[in-house]
Amino acid sequence: MTDKLVRQFFYEILNHLDIGIHIVDADSNTIFYNAAMGRLERLDPAKVRGENLLEVFPSLNHQTSTLLYVLNTGETITDRVQTYFNYKGKEITTINSTYPLKKGKKIVGALEIAKDITKLKELSEKVLLLQDSTKNKVSREKQYNPAVRFTFDDIVGESQEIKKASFVAKKAAQTSSQVLIYGETGTGKERFAQSIHNASARKTKPFIAQNCAALPESLLEGILFGTVKGGFTGAIDRPGLFEQADGGTLLLDEINSMGINLQAKLLRVLQEGFIRRLGDTKVKPVDVRIISTTNEVPLESIKKETMRRDLFYRLSVVYIKIPPLRERKKDIPV
């Protein structure tokens, strides 16, 4: 098989992917622009290929274009959220990763991979607004959150393992210490988390849960800490989950799926008790109890470097292990 045929097959494969791909040479001329990228930016791929990047996108420069930045610096950019208007004037949000292409030590081009997360961003903003309004309603009426329904009465079992986990959880409810709950998927980690909240002095305050594996790191950061208008393209004034959960409990589900960089920012909040919205220069004090869960043995996550050791110690002031049902023979109905 000739090199030309291999290249043709390679481009055909890239063209059938549902993620946008844009490849430029060292002079920023487009050598590949797939159909998914064309649909995303409302451009005809045939009219983009062979054209210089700045001719197709005249509003870009070396500061705003990730492709040009990578060509100039040779640095890799991963998971950057960008909000901009496509050629039809529609606002879109993408999460991009851009890589230098090298021959030896020489940069010969750059590759950009883009995934459309517009609907995901819109949905997350609606959820945040709903959570914020729910928090305000609960605050005004000083009532329990009906969605946080589980109590320790809902945790049943006769095995020593489940009794021990319940005992530790009840003790934890009497304090404001951070709690880390380990258990396999389906062992009832959120049931324990809600029970701790409902038995604590924070029970009339918000209980907010966020799955750390459900969103890209860049988007999750804005959801946790909030954003300010003008902080970046498309940003609006929006409180994050820390502000919405102020005085109450924030459940971070699957904390082992949170990116290492974001873990460092979470650690700072735990150490200092302040948050800063994305794009803001001011800090805000927050009083939030963190309950986090993981479906992987924490020491294994630390060994694999998917969890910071210092964050683990901060989160696991109280550590609760929920064994799976197969290890609790007494709790299996006959």
Weakest mean pLDDT among 24-33, 76-85, 306-315: 76-85
Residue 224 and residue 242 in contact, taking contact as beta carbons nearer than 8 Å: yes
* Beta strands 106-116 and 91-103, pairing class: antiparallel
Q: What domains are there in the chain, each with its CATH number?
A: 3-116 (3.30.450.20), 119-331 (3.40.50.300)
- DSSP 8-state code for residue 276: -
* Average confidence score pLDDT of the chain: 85
143 has a pLDDT exceeding 60: no
Q: How confident is the model at residue 25 (pLDDT cuts 50, 70, 90)?
A: very high
Q: What are the Cα distances from residue 43, in Å, to 37, 124, 175?
A: 8, 27, 57
Q: Is 264:224 a contact under the CB 8 Å cutoff?
A: no
Measured distance CA(210)–CA(292) in Å, rounded: 10
Using a cut of 0.75, tell me whether the model's pTM lies above it. Answer: no
Q: In the prediction, which pLDDT does 142 show?
A: 42
What pLDDT does 91 receive?
A: 73
Neighbouring C-beta atoms of residue 225, cutoff 10 Å? 23
Dmax over CA atoms of the chain, in Å, equals 73
pLDDT of residue 40: 85
pLDDT, tens digit, 9 for 90 and up, residues 240-275: 999 999 999 999 999 999 999 999 999 999 999 999
- Asked if 135 and 128 touch (Cβ cutoff 8 Å), the reply is no
Residue 322's pLDDT band, with cuts at 50, 70 and 90, is: very high
| Residue 45 one-letter amino acid | P
Number of Cβ within 10 Å of residue 93's Cβ equals: 19
- Please name the residue that has the structure tokens 């009426």: 141
DSSP string covering 121-180:
HHHHHHHHHHHHHHHHHHHHHT---TT----GGG----SHHHHHHHHHHHHHHTS---EE
Averaged pLDDT for residues 289-312: 94
- For 204-239, write each residue's pLDDT tens digit: 999 999 999 888 887 898 899 988 876 555 667 888
Strands 226-227 and 91-103: unpaired
